Amino acid sequence: MIDLHCHILPGLDDGPASTKEALEMCRIAVDDGIRTIVATPHMLNGMFPVDRQAILEGVQELSRILRQESIPLRLLPGADVHLDPSMPSYLDHGKLVTLADLGRHLLLELPQDIVPEGSGELLFKVQLKGVTPIITHPERNIAIQQNPSLLNDLISAGSLTQITAGSLTGAFGSRIRRCTLGLLETRTVHLVSTDAHNTGKRSPRLSEARRVVEEELGREEADRIFLERPARILEGAHVEAPEPLTDEARPNRKRSFWKKLFSYS
């Protein structure tokens, strides 16, 4: 499997504090069936002063140690970029790190509680640079939990989505899990990544989440989410997002997303 979003470089952000911990994360990933990880430290979030050079050097150094330790894991550069008006300018000046540094896809993190006004226009400016935005963990955004159509609007404007594996397995609580299952039902989940930060609760595992997707959507769609689309992204190829389903069009569901979301304590 391919993990497009993982905070695995030591000492750069709120990921592993040491190389030893980073290596243990790599071993966990390999044991779980992950063979490629894109290292994606936070950028532009105001907390960690991570720049392009630090990411590229960090990937090079950790890759060297992986070879030395005979750990069969490919590591590529990327970044988890906080939504910021400066993104188009930063792209122009080569200051951001896109996935695999190919200049085609960029992980974008929304604020935790809102979808800021003008987000669609800002993401359109990113697309004008030839870069497709990938909205990370939208299921953890409070505004999208309350109104999933906000995410549909961003998808219709050309963005892809990436949810966190732990959101599917319950690691972030039942409310976020129900929201994530609702997004799966409406076909607004295009990718699943670990968004791993450590060897504990936020460890780099995808296999359990894949089983959930297979149960909900079938093996073919799970292959698209976990294998085919990530592979195309790492080739710099275009990924076509399926049209989101309306609540009425979702197959074999007895209760709507809203009823399911609020019918549990």
- Over residues 132-174, the pLDDT tens digits come to 999 999 999 999 999 999 999 899 889 999 999 999 999 999 9
Residues in the chain: 265
pLDDT, mean of residues 25-50: 96
Looking at residue 182, its pLDDT comes to 95
Range with lowest mean pLDDT among 115-119, 229-233, 239-243: 239-243
Task: Look at residue 33 and tell me whether its pLDDT is greater than 90.
Answer: yes
CB 58 within 8 A of CB 12: yes
Range with lowest mean pLDDT among 187-191, 214-218, 236-240, 257-261: 257-261
Task: Look at residue 214 and tell me whether its pLDDT is greater than 90.
Answer: yes
| CATH code for the domain defined by 78-262 | 3.20.20.140
Looking at residue 245, its pLDDT comes to 80
CB 164 within 8 A of CB 138: no
Share of the chain above pLDDT 90, in %: 88
This prediction has a pTM of: 0.92
Task: Look at residue 37 and tell me whether its pLDDT is greater than 60.
Answer: yes
Q: Are strands 74-77 and 36-39 parallel, antiparallel or unpaired?
A: parallel
Q: Give me the DSSP letters along 177-228.
A: HHHHHHHHHTT---EEE--B-SSSTT----HHHHHHHHHHH-HHHHHIIIII
Task: Look at residue 258 and tell me whether its pLDDT is greater than 60.
Answer: no
